[in-house]
Structure 1
Amino acid sequence: MTDALSQIRRIVSARTPDAVWTELAAALKPYGFDRMLYGATSNRREGSVGDIQDVVTFTTLTRQPGRGREDVSFFIRTPMFRWVMTHAGASSWRWTEEQLAAGLLTPDEVVARDIARKSGLCVGYVISFEEPGSRRAAALSMIGAPEQTQDSLDAMWALKGDEIMILAQTMHLKIQSMPLKVHRRALSPRQREALEWVAEGKTSQDIAIIMGISAGMVEKHLRLARECLDVDTTAQAVAKAAMFNHLYTTPSGEAKR
């Protein structure tokens, strides 16, 4: 089994999104990438990823927990974000320098580019994943290690780019099939169960009997679920929970069998 196939097997076999991310980080290091940032949204708008709290994020830019949202917020300001929102596939960060030389960067993009370079985010590649729906968008930004130059990464990509694309796509598809981490308070098991019964067409009275609680308590669970998901109606709560793969999961986050 080749190294790439072995890495794909480990990514596919990972049981949690965090484990998937860890396997990808290990797989990409030999290619010269020592830091990565991933973001995915199902609420894309024109030039926007929607509410940042609903963006699924993973990052190795910092070891501080919960920093994914801040890292994605910065990436949104960079020139490569514009590329991601208008293209599918992979691009060298050389594109930013070409846009700068041609005078095509906005003032905000120039500021973000300068901040990135001062922070050691100088060379790299970005992948914009092709998505089936117009509301979905996802990208992986890969930062070159300190000893790398854009020329060295471009030369490596010419030889190994297809392997990296397959590894990244495997990570993306695996994570998107799992309960997704977002920057909101998690549903409680009872809130999740109530939403699952609503999704199956049960009324509050039906759910009360099934769960062995009062109809008033069912309504309380549904209200709290709506608050957790920041929506107005229970139908919206069901749709949003399903979008994040939060329904029909076990307490450990794995899909029910």
Structure 2
Amino acid sequence: MNPSMFAMLTGALARIDAAVTPADVLKELLSILRPFGFRHLLITGLPPPQRGPWQREILYDGWPIEWLKHYLASEHFTQDPCASRSRLVGQPFVWHDLLPKKMTTGQQRVMGEAAEFGLRNGLCVPVHEPRRAPSVVTAAGEHIEVLPEDIPILETVCVHAYRALRRLRDQVEQSRQITLTDREREVLTWIAAGKAAEDVACILGISRFTVERHLSNVRDKCDAVNTIQAAMEAVRRGEIDP
């Protein structure tokens, strides 16, 4: 790596480390990507399709609006060869590395329609971390100019930016961390185990009104529309055991 490229890379990583908002991180990442012809960016987790709406895992959506609408309406996520490969491999790859003859008809359709929306070629940088579903940083454009020796540099910046965005998002979530009282946890644990409110009242020696009041407080703290959602959120955040 030549000295000027090394200086650019270390400077970019330092500025990403110093970023205090997602916008600061993205500004730095995009400033590195644009000279290579990348105009669109998507940073997202890659949950299994059967786990529900994948778009809840998006950290940054910089896709063309009409393409994302079409992608969602067509349920392309289940057929997207870039998503499939990113789940399996840890190395970056350029879209043109995906050979049409090795794709299914559905996968070919996804890539063909992406090109129609101005995403003719791109770079996927998979991110695999312990205890997390795979994620990917994907940059695309009409015409990109990326040499093999550029890819390690782009990978380094993309992964660094991803981790910075994840860190900032986790900090926001922690600031909103719910804190249930011991009694609220106790009530919710019994409800999650399938007990009715009157049963919980009997078990704990309190009135049903008190049980309902605790559950109302729990729903408020979890920002949940019902008790089931509150229980799921409490499990996710470690407030109660599954």
Same fold (TM over 0.5): yes
What is the aligned partner in structure 1 of residue 32 from structure 2?
A: 27
Q: Structure 1, residues 55-112: CA drift from partner, whole Å, max 9, x if none?
A: 1331222379x97x949x645532212211221121111122x2x1x2x322221221
When residues 159 and 229 of structure 1 are mapped into structure 2, their CA distance, relative to the original with a 3 A threshold, is farther
Q: Residues 227-256 of structure 1, C-alpha deviation per residue, up to 9 Å, x if partnerless?
A: 6488826553134357xxxxxxxxxxxxxx
Q: 1:175 to 1:27 in 2, by over 3 A?
A: same
For the residue of structure 1 that corresponds to 2:13, the secondary structure is helix
Match of 1:17 in 2: 22
| DSSP 3-state at the match of 1:125 | strand
Q: Is the 8 A contact 1:40 1:55 kept in 2?
A: yes
1:203 is aligned, of 153, 177, 183, to: 183
Cα displacement string for residues 20-39 of structure 1 (whole angstroms, at most 9, x for unaligned residues): 22321222212332211110
Q: TM-score, normalised by structure 2?
A: 0.68
Cα distance in structure 1, aligned partners of 2:64 and 2:107: 22
Matches of 2:231 and 2:185, distance apart in 1: 17
C-alpha separation between the residues in 2 aligned to 1:227 and 1:115? Answer: 38
Does the 8 Å CA contact 2:59/2:165 hold for their aligned counterparts?
no
Normalising by structure 1, we get a TM-score of 0.65
Offset, 1:196 = 2.1
Specify the alignment match of 2:151 in structure 1: 161
User: Could you tell me which amino acid in structure 2 is paired with residue 10 of structure 1?
Assistant: R
CA RMSD in angstroms, aligned pairs only: 3.7
Residues 9 and 153, structure 2, Cα contact 8 Å, conserved in 1: yes
Q: 1:114 to 1:147 in 2, by over 3 A?
A: closer
C-alpha distance in structure 2 between counterparts of 1:10 and 1:49, whole Å? 35
- Shift of residue 19, structure 1, vs aligned partner: 3.0
> 2:39 is paired with a residue of what secondary structure?
strand
Taking the aligned partners of 1:15 and 1:94, their CA distance within structure 2 comes to: 35
| Residue 210 (structure 1) aligns with | none
Unpaired runs of 5+ in structure 1?
Answer: 207-213, 243-257
Residue from 72, 86, 105 that aligns with 1:107:
105
Q: Radius of gyration: which is bigger?
A: 2
Deviations 1:174-224, CA, capped at 9 Å, x for gaps? 12222369xxxx9xx9xx56x2245xxx33399xxxxxxx98655323224
**Closer, same or farther in 2 for the Cα pair 1:238/1:205, shift >3 Å?**
closer
Distance in 1 between residues matched to 2:167 and 2:27, nearest whole Å? 17
Answer yes or no: is the 8 Å Cα contact 2:16–2:160 preserved in 1.
yes
Task: Select the residue among 205, 218, 224 that pairs with 1:222.
Answer: 218
Q: Which has the higher helix share?
A: 2
Alignment: residue pair count: 206
Residues 239, 171 of structure 1: CA spacing in aligned structure 2 closer, same or farther, 3 A cutoff?
farther
Among 49, 55, 58, the alignment partner of 1:56 is 58
C-alpha contact 1:231 1:237 (8 A) present in aligned 2: no
Work out the percentage of aligned pairs sharing the same amino acid.
15
32-41 or 214-223, larger mean C-alpha shift: 214-223
Instruction: Give the alignment of 1:70-109 within 5 angstroms.
Output: 70=72, 74=76, 76-96=78-98, 98=99, 100=100, 102=101, 104-109=102-107
- 1:119 matches 2:117: yes
